[in-house]
Structure 1
Amino acid sequence: MIARLDLRLVPAALAVWAVTLTGLLAGWVPAAVVALLALLAAPLVWKAVSARPVARGALVVLLLAGVAATGIAVRVHAVEHHPVRLAAGHGERATLRVTLTSAPTPLRGASFGARRAADRSLVRAELQAGELAGQLAGHRVLAGGAVVLLVPTAQWRDLIAGQQVTATGKVSPPRAGELTVAAFQVFGPPADVAAAPGWQRVAEDLRDGLRQVSADVLGPAAAGLLPGLVVGDTGRLPPEVEQNFETAGLSHLTAVSGANLAIVCGAVLVLLHLVGAGPVVSAVGAGAALVGFVVLAGPEPSVLRAAVMGAITLLALVLGRQRSALPALSASVIGLLLLLPDMATSAGFALSVAATAGLVLLAPVWSSALRARGVPIGLAEAIAVPLAAHVVTAPLIAALSGEVSLVAVPANMLAGPVVAPATVFGVLATVVAPVSTWVAGVFGRLAAPELEWIILVAERAAAVPGAAFDWPSGTVGGLALAVIAAVGLIALRGKRIRLVLAVGLLLVVLVVVPVRTVLSSWPVPGWSVVACDVGQGDGLVLATGRPDEAVVVDTGPDPQRAAECLRRLGIRRISLAVLTHLHADHVSGLAALMGKIPVDAVAIGPLREPAWAMDDVARDARAHRVPVVPLLSGQRAAWPGLVLDVLGPDPALARTQSADDANDASIVLLATTPAGRVLLTGDVELPGQGRLVSSGADLRADVLKVPHHGSRYTAPRFLQAVRPRLAVISVGAGNTYGHPSPFIVDNLTRAGTKVLRTDQEGDIAILPGPQGPRYVARGDPLRAGES
């Protein structure tokens, strides 16, 4: 018999979450209004408590919502009026003294002048003091606040959380929906580096020991996976393996989650039970293991969130899932949001809450139902747990990524049984490594078969045709899938409906998916411009009017994706390859492109920085006997179906710019095509946009390639000068930069512009329409639309 659910704290948790989101997304004023309303309503509800017991619950909701609203209003107000935030709006330079709250994490995707994406790292820090330049020159800041640093990996890789450093760079607006004062782009090494606290150094030594043991006794893929399973360190995980994990729905295995902590603490509980320890000792031991794991992984918000969710899982296992888990989960949501309100907008937090709810509410019911039908208990758990987690998280994942995985459940069923032993062996290797590398190596070897099995499952699952299918992203897509899932779960209670759905699923797997994989409507006839989905970077193709020939503008961060896009379009010659600027996310695909398709010339702007990139371009061009030509403001190039006018940058500026200014030195092109005027802007930032507007040039265009992947570095007056019908944002799915900025997307949408994103649409073709340009996304003619 299923126990009745205790829902008393659920409304309070939802209310706290809602008011926290209000403050983060709408600003401090709406949050303050909510706090005031809660304060005024509380006395009225208090009077009704004695007469109506239900009012007691309403009073709790009001009080907690008022506390959350007050707290978030105060915090958001402080952040919005922080002097560094004001400087960030102008892209000023600054020298900041910060305390690192996380270790540098190499980025995958775009790069800010680095050779590879991983050459730039993200670091979270707490501001201690700073000195601003530019319009606020000489202004000193003696205030706290969270900042995010983008730093050179090679010069910052050895730093750990807890160290104080001084850095000089450019401040920029932070990602929307966070209590972050500013993002800080740093291009040099840290200065005045202070030692980290002792416990942080011990934890880093343990993590380094795990990495070293893994490298010594495991293959490259397994050596990168084991630290990911244990402490969420994926720095050495090969990119192809990481991509397989994403497609197969196994990425959660390489992130510190409640599951990691539940495995470790559960192993401690089992061990203590075997030696006859009582409940008090067992509870203390499990708690100590939890604290130790948090120290080992680093007390970052994601780890603290995982600690709470892991504790909930253990509590559910010990006290009875359905009666105890939901109040514990609700209380944890309230506590975490009051302590760390940034989590309200975190996809990881939402996924953790949903997965934990599914684990403790749905999985037991489904497992019991399977056991009642004769399924062995182990197999029943193996089916119910990943299925429950996938059902409740699929709407969120679809809203974020725009796709639904068809292989996630079977992949998790196959990989799940070996995750726990691999994790436990990894933790043992970590703990033992400082004492005996030989014993640690034994534990590493014991984990090897499990790791290789997980890697094999991910590889095979990702290779299944149609492993994932597209789904509308955003709130509407997520809600639609949630409704379908809820209706489906209710419908599955009937035997006939289960039979019909089973037959339908077989038809999809055996007929629809293979047919969709084989048949393709790409390329769409008559295209003028195609924005290739090259990940977190730019790669655009413009038809010249000659058969099988095109002009390419930027080649993306990946050595192959731009070449594959051109192959799909049937391009056999590139008359001109324009590199808007020499950053890795715009030039890394050039060598592969020249190796597969003849290129007549490569064009670059007046700024030849960073030097390493210029050297690479020159070397690759010489190897393929391709001339490198300058492209300067005022020049024009023409083909039968294409005219390119160069609007920027001003060659005179190159003499005063450095590698730090490469974005703003981007070549800006106005392309006249059969589909209309198309403005291609590279990564030009606020100063460059201002110069374009002030130049008096006619910037009006039917289509705009939004600057810098839709970053906050886009001026509203620039968008007003362009007034595009279609706006294309070339951006990578799940990038860590917050691209595109919701502010820019909202600004464009409010102006009546249709916003298209390569992370959601894939390759995007722009072609002439009866009333202006229209677009078609690759492989999905239903996405065609008029501007």
Structure 2
Amino acid sequence: MPPRLRLLPAVVACWLAAGIVIGMPDAAPAATVVAAVVAAGLAIAALPARILVLPALAAGAATLVLGAVALAAPARTPTDLAEAADSGRSLELEVTVGGRADEGRFAGVVAGTSAPVLVFADPGTAPPIGATVALRADLALTVPGEDVAFLLFPRGDVELVHGPPPLLAWAHDIRTGFLDASSGLPEPGGGLLPGLAIGDTTRVAEPLDAAMKASSLSHLTAVSGANCAIVVGAVLAVTALLGAALPVRLGVAAVALLGFVVLVTPEPSVLRAAVMAGLALAAVALGRPTLGVPVLCAAVILLLIADPWLSRSYGFALSALATAGLLTLAGPLAVALTRVLPGWLATVLSVPLAAQLACQPVILLLDPSLPLYGVPANLLAAPAAPLATVLGLVACLLAGVAPPLGAAVAWLGWLPASWVAAVATLFAGLPGARGVWPGGPGGVALLVAVEVAALVAVLGVGRPRRLARAVSLVALVAYLAAAIGGAVVTQVSRPVDWQYAMCDVGQGDATLVRSGQAVALIDLGRDPELLRACLADLGIGRLDLVVLTHFDLDHVGGAAAVLDRADVVLTGRPAESADDRLLAEFAAAGAQVSPVDRGDRGTLGSLAWEALWPAPRDETTGNPASVALHWTCPNGGACLTAVMLADLGEEAQARMAGAVEIPQVDVVKVSHHGSADQSAGLYERLDGTVGLIGVGADNDYGHPTEALLGILAATGTTALRTDLDGLILVAPGDRPGEVDVWTSR
């Protein structure tokens, strides 16, 4: 094995050991002992047989990782917290905030323990990183292997106990000043600039976020090695100009690197980049060569030993793979491409191509499709992204000491940031921006095989190269034929008489009901573009009825897609002035807006609907007051009945079951994206044939939960979920009571 790859077996062993054992932490102590024995045996055997040195090193590294799991796992799930989660008892807790807030959610650690938690607070709650907050909360235990051990759902307000320590307070002030300095910049570049500079994507609008993902540019908003290299390189250059000695330059660079990590927050990709930079600085200090691949391998091993739960982090995996691709593939690809392209273009093109080839198999697990324009999009964005990053970083630092100057530099950074946003929007809107590809492990294996064949066809020599070229050509023809044929089959195979459709709008709900030419839409998802695309795909124009079950963002965020399409809007109870403004916008667009309570009835074509919830004269708002509808077929015929539960929790479900007669139905719209907060008795009484779950593939909530899936399985209800199935269409079968289902995947 080449010298620069000698740590690779240790990386693979560490990653596999951590990834497997954190899913069954009770086995970690025994696995550690077994690995230690194997490592010791291989080390002894390696004395006369040097070929066993690398396996011994891999076994030793795996032992360290397994030992880390064995030591950390019990502390992550303290007995009192686990018992409270099992019993449904709420606790008074203090949590030290450890992760950037996003729509009210923030990560942290319960004070006095090592239990990592994710808190679901009100959207207006955004405590700074390092602060300690007090709250009373219900707890839910996550499945082993998740990066957090508990989910916390506060009962009441989240109160600040004390602010962050000085260093973290400085970082918070700097970030806040930068966000203020860039807040007046025109969109979408203004919202994107903080993401390019410091990885803060809180102001990136949903449509732009979707466009960045569709065009394979979302990696630009994840702080990576390029950002760390800019910081370290700039510091080394400045200190060299000042005539500082090498030890001083390296020391100042190390301090600047630490400050940068604190500023941007230690996300997995940041940690990987920072540890690599730190190892490189240490190698220079010791007078040793700094080879990229060994440094990457060493960084990955150290981080997996420090935090084995990184082994299941998509962000960490993508960061490591992208770096590996750049270090191993970019150079050979550039050389190969010079045969047909100018040297400068070949060099520029090889970078995004290498990164995409390395990362795409993992990205496929998150989104079973291919970004067909990813390489040209990266090629066009490449010149602007570093410029936006540098100017954004300078603006960020100046915003804390000279706000007017920081704002001026932010305006300069807005120009390249706007270019990146424009590139993303352009390529995301082109036909076929996402190519179809099978998901799951089989799809990943197939993609890896195709990529290997393509690389051998480009980089190989002799007979293997000729064979790989033939295989690649056959694969390309087969893919084009399958894609075109699949599109035709998709349109032909769809049931023309579908009655219910659940749109794939990510983590949110958007469900259609159709009777003849009459169409109702229940909830609007979070992203107008995703909802608009679903309606266009199904050929839906005017909406006879729109139901806003409640006003959470994942149910009304897509309103812009339908504001001018609705005839009648039925609404749950508004809780804030923003909710009233949304209803006023529907009314101004010509819709008839009416509140709905239990017992209200109406029709849609030949279907009838009745509101089962909320209770009249109850002033509750939010999830517990969601509008639940029962759809029936008063005229008989080929028709399916349904109950749609919006986001009702177990308590509200029980109250509803006590107030109305719960019918048996064909279709159940599962409540709250498949959360664990459900009444098994209600689902048993509904006795649905299929259960529709609107859920995002990359959601942080653990939806749908094993508890909910178990409830559906126990009642014989087949779970259909948008994260795995995509668009779901449900139609009456050929015989009474029979349900036909079609999904886009």
Same fold (TM over 0.5): yes
Structure 1 residues 491, 153: closer, same or farther in 2, change over 3 A?
Answer: same
Equivalence for 1:669: 630
Q: Aligned partners of 2:329, 2:703: CA distance in 1, in Å?
A: 35
Q: Aligned partners of 1:510, 1:687: CA distance in 2, in Å?
A: 52
Structure 1 residues 437, 769: closer, same or farther in 2, change over 3 A?
Answer: same
What amino acid is the match of 1:177?
A: G
Equivalence for 1:99: 96
Q: Aligned partners of 1:521, 1:583: CA distance in 2, in Å?
A: 36
Q: Aligned partners of 1:681, 1:727: CA distance in 2, in Å?
A: 11
What amino acid is the match of 2:615?
A: P
Quote the offset at 1:204 in angstroms.
Answer: 2.2
The answer as to 2:674 corresponding to 1:707 is: no
- The gaps in structure 1 that reach 5 residues or longer are 106-119, 129-141
Q: Aligned partners of 1:95, 1:409: CA distance in 2, in Å?
A: 51
Deviation per CA, 1:699-738, whole angstroms, max 9, x where unpaired?
Answer: 7655443321122334667666666554422123433434
Q: Which stretch has the larger CA shift, 66-75 or 192-201?
A: 66-75
Give the 3-state SS of the residue equivalent to 1:202 in structure 2: helix
Q: Aligned partners of 1:430, 1:386: CA distance in 2, in Å?
A: 27
Equivalence for 1:401: 367
Q: Aligned partners of 1:434, 1:326: CA distance in 2, in Å?
A: 37
Q: More relative contact order in 1 or in 2 (CA 8 Å, sep 6+)? A: 1
Equivalence for 1:23: 21
- Identify which of 157, 177, 180 aligns with 1:209: 177
- Identify which of 109, 117, 136 aligns with 1:126: 109
Deviation per CA, 1:506-536, whole angstroms, max 9, x where unpaired?
Answer: 9999997899699955974111211123332
Kindly indicate whether the alpha-carbon contact (under 8 Å) linking 2:731 and 2:739 is maintained by their aligned counterparts in 1. yes
| % identity of equivalent residues | 31
The answer as to 2:425 corresponding to 1:459 is: yes
What amino acid is the match of 2:130?
A: G
Q: TM-score, normalised by structure 2?
A: 0.84
The answer as to 2:117 corresponding to 1:152 is: no
1:54-453 aligned at under 5 Å gives the runs 54-105=51-102, 120-128=103-111, 143-154=113-124, 156-157=125-126, 159-174=127-142, 177-186=145-154, 189-215=157-183, 218-271=185-238, 280-309=247-276, 324-371=291-338, 373=339, 378-437=344-403, 439-441=405-407, 443-453=409-419
Structure 1 residues 505, 313: closer, same or farther in 2, change over 3 A?
Answer: farther
- Identify which of 687, 703, 706 aligns with 1:739: 703
Structure 1 residues 583, 429: closer, same or farther in 2, change over 3 A?
Answer: closer
Alignment size in residue pairs = 734
Structure 1 residues 255, 436: closer, same or farther in 2, change over 3 A?
Answer: same
Kindly indicate whether the alpha-carbon contact (under 8 Å) linking 1:19 and 1:31 is maintained by their aligned counterparts in 2. no
Deviation per CA, 1:405-455, whole angstroms, max 9, x where unpaired?
Answer: 011111112211332233222222333344444554554454344333322
Kindly indicate whether the alpha-carbon contact (under 8 Å) linking 2:544 and 2:566 is maintained by their aligned counterparts in 1. no
What is the root-mean-square deviation of aligned Cα atoms in Å? 4.3
Kindly indicate whether the alpha-carbon contact (under 8 Å) linking 1:321 and 1:360 is maintained by their aligned counterparts in 2. no
Equivalence for 2:513: 542
What amino acid is the match of 2:27?
A: P
Quote the offset at 1:347 in angstroms.
Answer: 0.7
Quote the offset at 1:349 in angstroms.
Answer: 0.8
Structure 1 residues 431, 698: closer, same or farther in 2, change over 3 A?
Answer: closer
Kindly indicate whether the alpha-carbon contact (under 8 Å) linking 1:680 and 1:704 is maintained by their aligned counterparts in 2. yes
Q: Aligned partners of 1:18, 1:716: CA distance in 2, in Å?
A: 37
Quote the offset at 1:466 in angstroms.
Answer: 0.9
Deviation per CA, 1:375-398, whole angstroms, max 9, x where unpaired?
Answer: 555433311111110001111111
Equivalence for 1:768: 732
Kindly indicate whether the alpha-carbon contact (under 8 Å) linking 1:248 and 1:467 is maintained by their aligned counterparts in 2. yes
Deviation per CA, 1:579-633, whole angstroms, max 9, x where unpaired?
Answer: 444434334556864631323x6265xxx46355774576467654636254427
Quote the offset at 1:148 in angstroms.
Answer: 1.3
Structure 1 residues 383, 5: closer, same or farther in 2, change over 3 A?
Answer: farther
What amino acid is the match of 2:207?
A: E
Equivalence for 1:134: none
Q: Which stretch has the larger CA shift, 303-312 or 473-482?
A: 303-312
Deviation per CA, 1:750-773, whole angstroms, max 9, x where unpaired?
Answer: 998654333454432112345842
Quote the offset at 1:255 in angstroms.
Answer: 1.7
What amino acid is the match of 1:288?
A: V
Equivalence for 1:138: none
Kindly indicate whether the alpha-carbon contact (under 8 Å) linking 2:77 and 2:115 is maintained by their aligned counterparts in 1. no
Q: Aligned partners of 1:230, 1:360: CA distance in 2, in Å?
A: 23
Quote the offset at 1:278 in angstroms.
Answer: 6.5
Structure 1 residues 695, 87: closer, same or farther in 2, change over 3 A?
Answer: farther
Give the 3-state SS of the residue equivalent to 2:329 in structure 1: helix
Deviation per CA, 1:645-692, whole angstroms, max 9, x where unpaired?
Answer: 66x55838x75x8446x2475526365694645443222333345668
Equivalence for 2:644: 680
Give the 3-state SS of the residue equivalent to 2:592 in structure 1: coil
Deviation per CA, 1:100-125, whole angstroms, max 9, x where unpaired?
Answer: 123423xxxxxxxxxxxxxx322112
1:614-633 aligned at under 5 Å gives the runs 615=580, 619=584, 623=588, 624=590, 626=592, 628=594, 630-632=596-598
1:591-606 aligned at under 5 Å gives the runs 593=562, 595-599=564-568, 602=570, 604=572
Equivalence for 1:728: 692
Structure 1 residues 527, 374: closer, same or farther in 2, change over 3 A?
Answer: closer
What amino acid is the match of 1:196?
A: P
Give the 3-state SS of the residue equivalent to 1:234 in structure 2: coil
Structure 1 residues 585, 179: closer, same or farther in 2, change over 3 A?
Answer: closer
Deviation per CA, 1:21-57, whole angstroms, max 9, x where unpaired?
Answer: 22332x3223334224324545544553434334444
